[in-house]
Amino acid sequence: MATKELNVSLDAEGFMTDPNQWTPEIAEAMAEEEGIAPLTERHWQVINWVRKEAARTGEFPSLRAISKRSGVDTKELYELFPKGPARKIARCAGYPKPKGCI
């Protein structure tokens, strides 16, 4: 299913604008569009950790924080979410485009 058909608000680049609208089905649809479907258990470990962390702190975590604390290191992050992990993780986790530098 395309993300446009999911009835959630997206910005011009396809990022969700309201993380509360997120469902696991949205993650699968985003992954499809990003060319990384189907999502594996390792993808889900990242997505679930990121959502928990973002809900806890109110901010989308840096890629460095993800690599240090999600249980998935930098190398694997780039394998799971190749060619732009910051964008792909944020889209799958239902968050706006990350602005952090790290």
Partner 1 sequence: MSGERKLAIICSKGSLDMAYPGLILANAARMMGIEADLFFTFWGMDIITKDKVDHLKVTPVGNPAMHMPQFVGGLPGMTDVATAMLKKEIERLDIPPVREFLQMVHDAGCGIYACKLAAEMMHLKREDLVDEVDDIIGAMEFLEKAEGAQLLFI
Catalytic positions: 101
Q: Is 64 in the site for partner 1 (CB under 8 A)?
A: yes
Q: What is the identity of the amino acid at 67?
A: S
Angstrom CA distances, 18 to 14, 22, 85, 86, stand at: 12, 8, 20, 18
Burial of 78 (0-12, 13-18, 19+ CB in 10 A): middle
- Between residues 45 and 62, which has the closer beta carbon with respect to partner 1? 62
Residue appearing with tokens 């594996």:
40
Closest approach of partner 1 to the CB of residue 31, in Å: 16
Stretch that binds partner 1, among 2-10, 21-29, 40-48, 58-66 (CB under 8 A): 58-66
The contact set with partner 1 (CB under 8 A) reads 62-65, 67, 73-75, 78, 82-87, 101-102
